[in-house]
Structure 1
Amino acid sequence: MAQTDSTQTTAGKQPADKKPSRKYAEKISARQRIQEAQRLERLAAQRRRRIVVAVSVVAVLALAGGTTLAISAAGDGKPSADSAAGEPTALVVPANATGPDGTVITYGKADAPHTLQVFEDFRCPVCKTFESTNGETVKKLTDDGTVKVEYHLAAFLDKNLGGKGSRTALAAVGAALNEGVDKFKQYHDVLYANQPDEREDGFGSVNHLLDLAEQVPGLKTDAFVKAVTERTYAPWAAKVAEAFNSSGVTGTPTVKLDDKPITLFSANRPVTPEQFTAQVKQAAGLQ
């Protein structure tokens, strides 16, 4: 319909036959500044989400495909020069460590006939899903002597997501292992039960890790506190992470029984404890 008043304006527009006023120009300038600030904030938000979205997509694909790959080990897991500054350089291997160069943690009866290999990163959210669903099942199979567990721990998510939580938690776990294998296992379970959002670097705080250690009776000794505070086992944690990177495993969580892969997810959800147990027993030739 034809416009009846040639001087009528729409919201935010200046009549074409009039020179813009200073007030109007300032209003437009202010609006442009706001729009530019909003644009920059959107770009920043997209950058912040990019890694998280990539991690989530990989996790969803893992669930859909029923594969053990949950978080891809795209990084090399090695600390940057900045993050390594001020850390001890002398390699101290905690008591009770096993495997080549003490890079494996073995939990269970030494004479157990089968070995369950568990590959995890403490910042991996899908590892937490595995632990919350089947962690108790793993413990039961270990306690009854069916298997012993070898933990192969990673730290690649520090590079993929930024921060130092995986390495700091791994070094703290070394201090727990030095106190005893049972202390390690209890602390391992506490860390997964209290895992922060992967976008946050909650395990990068030594004080937070020490607070969580209070949930393990008898763990928080003077020696443990000193080792965690001074990051005594940081060089060992780096060796453990390097061993994971050389293992051929491309993501976490991955679980194998005597080198035979165990499926952790099926039909878009974690396998049940019954399904997990059946797989382990089948791989072990027990059924």
Structure 2
Amino acid sequence: MSTGAHGNRPTRNQQREAARAKAKELREQQQKHDKRKKWILQGSIGLAVIAIAAIITMVVTTSAPTTGPRPANMASDGIVLSGADMAGVLSDAGAPGSDPIATTPTPGSSTVNIVVYQDYICPACKAFDEANADTLQTLVEAGAATLEIHPIGMLWSKSAGTEYSRRSAAAAACVADFSPNTFWKVNQAFYANQPQEGTPGPTDEELAALIGKQKPENQSKIDKCITDKTFIPWVKQATDYALNGPMTDAAVASGSTGVGTPTILVNGKVYSGSIVDSKEFLSFITQVAGESAATPTPTPAAG
């Protein structure tokens, strides 16, 4: 029997080996194809991320102001309170982004200049206020001192992401701008209602309502100022200026180049005593006043 061409056909083993080789070749080609797709996809994603980041950076850079308007009546970055009504001393706002103008005590004056750098969420600031607010108010109302309050946003990260420190300082600046004679009452209300560190703190609406209870002038303007976050950029700038120096007063002469909260100065000299001992604080004021040939009178009853 003749086999003809059948005798030249591959054996079954040869067929299986050929099939395996072909399958391996196809798998390798598919793997290379998959790798190319993966590289292309990763590259596309990477380029997209870079593009998105560039867009975000451009938007933030162009839309988020690094400087903003300065509040009126805070030429030094602080508001000066003076006289029987704890009235705010008026001053021009100055150009947006401009440096503060330091308050300079008059040499030989019988009135001492007391400066307080504070943060409204700072527990130590509240402790200082509770211990010394009556002393400060008595001295100012008697004409023996002026009180210069600098609200800063040093502890902006201590309020569960709401930046209460900055928002409250900006709200206080709105009061200084539109109702300076109410500032002291608002200042005390903020401390009386101080939130704990790590909590969100009052909302902007709640801050506006709290200010409203103090019967300020221009309430609607204050509300809009808070809602628009008008002075948030200024708070950031004032805080940076206070923390990194030079400070906006004669404290530089005392060797200080920045502040913590609270930082208290009397005629430019840094107070380093107990913040909760009103007798010690009053003694320091009297000592500094004496060095300036001015003893503050009358002496308030220390609590």
* Cα deviation code 1:201-253 (max 9, x no counterpart): 204x1012112112211356111111111111212222221221123234211
Q: Distance in 1 between matches of 2:184 and 2:136?
A: 11
CA pair 95-214 structure 1, distance change in 2 beyond 3 A: same
Given the alignment, which residue of 214, 226, 235 partners 1:228?
Answer: 226
One-letter amino acid of the counterpart of residue 274, structure 2: F
After TM superposition, the score normalised by the length of structure 2 is 0.58
Q: Distance in 1 between matches of 2:146 and 2:262?
A: 17
After TM superposition, the score normalised by the length of structure 1 is 0.61
Point out the structure with max Rg over C-alpha. 2
One-letter amino acid of the counterpart of residue 166, structure 2: R
* Cα deviation code 1:130-169 (max 9, x no counterpart): 1111112111111111111222232121135653011101
- Tell me which residue corresponds to 1:146: 144
- Tell me which residue corresponds to 1:155: 153
| Two-structure CA RMSD over aligned residues (Å) | 2.8
Q: How does 1:74-223 map to 2 (within 5 A)?
A: 91-99=68-76, 103-109=77-83, 113-159=111-157, 163=161, 164-203=163-202, 205-219=203-217, 221-223=219-221
Q: Distance in 2 between matches of 1:154 and 1:188?
A: 13
Give yes or no for the alignment of 1:284 onto 2:303: no
Sequence identity (%): 25
One-letter amino acid of the counterpart of residue 179, structure 2: G
CA pair 202-219 structure 1, distance change in 2 beyond 3 A: farther
Give yes or no for the alignment of 1:265 onto 2:265: no
* Cα deviation code 1:30-80 (max 9, x no counterpart): xxxxxxxxxxxxxxxxxxxxxxxxxxxxxxxxxxxxxxxxxxxxxxxxxxx
Q: Distance in 2 between matches of 1:161 and 1:148?
A: 32
SS state of the match for residue 157, structure 2? helix
Q: Which runs of 5+ in 2 are unaligned?
A: 1-59, 84-88, 90-105, 248-256, 297-303
Displacement after TM superposition at 1:177 (Å) = 0.5
SS state of the match for residue 135, structure 2? helix
One-letter amino acid of the counterpart of residue 282, structure 1: Q
Aligned pair count reads 198
Is the contact made by 2:158 and 2:197 (CA closer than 8 Å) also made in structure 1? no
SS state of the match for residue 158, structure 1? coil
Q: Which runs of 5+ in 1 are unaligned?
A: 1-82
SS state of the match for residue 167, structure 2? helix
**Larger relative contact order (Cα-Cα within 8 Å, sequence gap ≥ 6):** 1
* Cα deviation code 1:153-195 (max 9, x no counterpart): 3212113565301110111111100123222221111101110
Q: Distance in 2 between matches of 1:253 and 1:144?
A: 24
Is the contact made by 1:153 and 1:244 (CA closer than 8 Å) also made in structure 2? no
- Tell me which residue corresponds to 1:40: none
